[in-house]
A and B are shown apart, each in its own frame.
Chain A
Amino acid sequence: MSTPAITFDHVTKDFGNVRAVDGVSLQIAEGEFLAIVGGSGSGKTTLLRMANRLIDPDAGTIAIHGENTQAADPITLRRRIGYVFQSAALFPHMSVAQNIGITPRLLDRPAAQIAGRVDELMDMVQLDPAQYRDRRPIELSGGQRQRVGLARALAANPKIVLMDEPFGALDPITRDALGTDYKSLHEKLGLTTVMITHDMAEALLLADRVAVMQPGKIVAQGNAAELERSEDNYVRDLLRTPRRQAAQLQSLLSGTSS
């Protein structure tokens, strides 16, 4: 088996008296799409942020392509890894193009090259460059902002993309469209993706594998079929809801129930 893209090895993180992440070990293979599902306070965001050293662990090691992140310069590391924030977190004082081109600019790429790359990325995330390039984030809809956030994360050609509830604040149609669009980008660009979500249905539909977190620990992981066999109550609860909704919808739409 080749070196995993990301390896968490017995990673622990405390915030004051609270243990946010408790001895978690997890491997994400190259090219894999992993979703981490859990409620608020389960430590999923903390785990994600330790991957690009926005947070440093108290114990355990994290390796990117086999290299211990503690030995790496965090700035270089972050420029190599794409990160998509909840509700996009675009820089409000910069235009769409400036937002997308920020990491290449930090890497001192020539302006012309950045401009070309920005157009390419905007095409990729299906925003018309001519129309949106010079707009401010405040002039965009929620879905458009997150498309820009996605393009910003991809700008410096990262191999790994981390996503923190990227579609959480969007309406269901936009959310579905954006999720599907990203999934195809993930495959087309050969990315390794770790996505945080609290929505089990979204996780199962997009990801190759789902890890379920409950305060500080991973309680189950696998694809839909594997999770189905889990004995864990929380995992069963998580799976029950979308399934029940799907069944109810099905019957409502086919008109058999009234």
Chain B
Amino acid sequence: MTFDPRWHEAWTRLPDYLGNHVQVSLTALAIGLAVSLPLALMARRRPVMRNTLLAFASIVQTVPGLALLALFYPLLLALAQLSLQWFGFEFSAFGFLPAVLALALYSVLPVLRNTLIGLQGIDPAIVEAADGVGMTPGQKLRMVELPLALPVIMAGIRTAAVWVIGTATLSTPIGQTSLGNYIFAGLQTQNWVFVLFGCAAAALLAIAVDQLLALIESGMTRQRRWRVILGGLGLVALAAATLMPAMMRGKTSIVVGAKTFTEQYVLASLLTQRLDAAGLSASTRAGLGSNVIFEALASDDIDAYVDYSGTLWLNQLKQTTTPPRGQLLAELKKILADKYRITLFGTLGFENAYALAMPRQQADALGIRSIADLATHSGQMSIAGDYEFFSRPEWAALQKTYGLHFREQRQMQADFMYPAVASGEVDVIAGYTSDGLIAKYDLAVLDDNKHAIPPYDAVILLSPGRADDDRLKAALAPLKESINIATMREANLRASGNNATSSPQAVARWLWDQIKRP
């Protein structure tokens, strides 16, 4: 057996992912400590403040990590706009900043609670003795209370560190590179090597930081200075290591974004490879949320990505009518340019539409060919869609147009829908027309005769800052109208495999070979 090249690929990305992960975690932890320690000291003799703070921190803790991170993005975006209006400067609400702030907030509870409990738990006789020997309140805190509460406080800090390092893997969708990139990409492209690698790296990092903090703690309680110094040096070394990727990467001028599904990973790799081939340094920022990626492009945080006309039309521009394909594209191009200064550079040549699909055998048995046929059976059937489908306008339009009412709706990871419908776990899925798995599982795509679902031409979008970048445009120009639906399906099928040639980069190279072939 030969060595699986995916391990090597995972390994080469480690400096970048790990460095960013450490950077965002340690910064968040430092901010979290800088806020919660003084707050705990202020609140410890003020019951109302203490209870309010603990209640607030507990509520924050109940918000799922992913949601908390996702909430910070629009919040900061709004703040950035206000700051531009009022103070004339703008900051990036993408990536590092929202991730750090959300994670810092996440670290507050354990530190706050343990500091309060630690200080409360000191024998009152010892505190009195500190007064009795003539300590000022500051000396009492520094020489007696903090040292005695230290084990409990450090336990809180260590808990916070482990939480923050674990939760930081979820900052990938808001644009912060982290070890989560392995996990998100691996999950999407069924690259279990990546998923495993990401989990193991995050766990090892958490253990390492926890042990360094333990070393510092034992040094402080046993008054062994070298332990404190060694632990501190370890943390500094970790922090210094985070500067490495920035230096090694050099200056990447162009960032290509990708959403969270297989096709996006492949297309982003294709764009990146074309830009690199043209001598422009480019990198991929993958796994971005659907709304995050558009805002990121509009505010120049990323430079280019591939989106779909119908998605933009309904979700970003909130249009209610659906004009014919050509007209929609033309109007989309105009609105994007006028309203967002985004360039619709060109179409790739295929459509990736939502489509309702079911096993061919069953469709034939029931005589279902179109969505209208499906409507009469839908009351006894269950349907599965990806995480956004049921909250998208397309679903509302389908329900309204055809009078669809399913017995059950289920959300699942896109790649799991196909095996689910093939095995009868669900009856119908909202799949994607460009997905190779439709053919692989022999599914029938039901006709949308009433055109409830708009066209979904894949389009390359460029950020306002790249509107006049001729080198970039020249590098991407060969991709216009270059991929037909059959080729894209084949590419997606290859990328959904779980083997050495199924990495997005490998599939993107294959795709380019197809494009070059006349």
Contacts and interface: CB of A to CB of B under 8 A. Distances in A.
Interface stretch (A26-34, A81-89, A240-248): A81-89
Nearest to B221: A93
A89 B125 contact: yes
Given A52-B132, A85-B129, A91-B143, 10 more contacts: A54-B128, A54-B131, A75-B135, A78-B131, A93-B144, A103-B134, A106-B133, A106-B134, A106-B139, A156-B134
Contacts of B129: 85, 89-91
Contact of A103 (B128, B133, B136, B147): B133
Nearest to A162: B132
Which residue, A52, A90, A93, has most C-beta atoms of chain B within 10 A?
A93
A102 to B, nearest CB: 5
Given A92-B148, A93-B147, A93-B221, A152 B133 contact: yes
A89 B128 CA distance: 8
A117 interface: no
Q: Is the interface of B mostly helix, strand, loop or mixed?
A: helix
A83 B136 CA distance: 16
B49 interface: no
B236 interface: no
B146 to A, nearest CB: 10
A139 B144 CA distance: 19
Nearest to A76: B134
Interface string B425-459: 00000000000000000000000000000000000
3 residue pairs, one from A and one from B, having the closest CB atoms: A79-B134, A89-B129, A78-B134
A29 B128 CA distance: 27
Given A75-B136, A83-B132, A85-B132, A91 B144 contact: yes
B148 to A, nearest CB: 6
Nearest to B134: A79
Contacts of A152: 133
A133 B139 CA distance: 23
Contacts of A85: 125, 128-129, 132
B130 interface: yes
A134 to B, nearest CB: 10
Contacts, number: 51
B260 to A, nearest CB: 51
B126 interface: yes
A78 B133 contact: yes
A93 B148 contact: yes
A45 B147 CA distance: 28
Interface in B120-167: 123, 125-126, 128-136, 139, 143-144, 147-148
Given A89-B125, A89-B128, A102 B133 contact: yes
A178 B151 CA distance: 35
Contacts of A91: 126, 129-130, 143-144
A85 B125 CA distance: 8
Interface string B456-471: 0000000000000000
Nearest to B147: A93
B134 A75 contact: yes
B105 to A, nearest CB: 32
A219 B57 CA distance: 55
A76 B136 CA distance: 10
Interface in A57-116: 75-76, 78-79, 83, 85-87, 89-93, 102-103, 106-107
Contacts of A156: 134
A89 B133 CA distance: 11
23 contacts: A54-B128, A54-B131, A54-B132, A75-B134, A75-B135, A78-B132, A78-B133, A79-B133, A79-B134, A89-B125, A89-B132, A90-B129, A91-B126, A91-B130, A91-B144, A92-B148, A93-B144, A93-B221, A102-B133, A102-B143, A103-B134, A106-B133, A106-B134
A102 B125 CA distance: 16
Contacts of A93: 144, 147-148, 221
A50 to B, nearest CB: 13
Given A54-B131, A78-B131, A89 B126 contact: yes
Contacts of B128: 54, 85, 89
Contacts of B221: 93
A150 to B, nearest CB: 13
Contacts of A79: 133-134
B133 A83 contact: yes
A117 to B, nearest CB: 14
A75 B134 CA distance: 5
B125 A87 contact: yes
Nearest to A152: B133
A85 B128 CA distance: 9
B204 to A, nearest CB: 33
A92 B126 contact: yes
A103 B148 CA distance: 19
Contacts of A103: 133-134
A92 B127 CA distance: 11
Contacts of A106: 133-135, 139
A90 B143 CA distance: 13
A52 B128 CA distance: 12
A52 to B, nearest CB: 7
Interface in B409-426: none
Contacts of B134: 75-76, 78-79, 103, 106-107, 156
A75 to B, nearest CB: 6
A92 B143 CA distance: 11
A87 B126 CA distance: 10
Contacts of A87: 125
Interface in B328-347: none
Interface in B85-141: 123, 125-126, 128-136, 139
A93 B151 CA distance: 12
B133 A86 contact: no
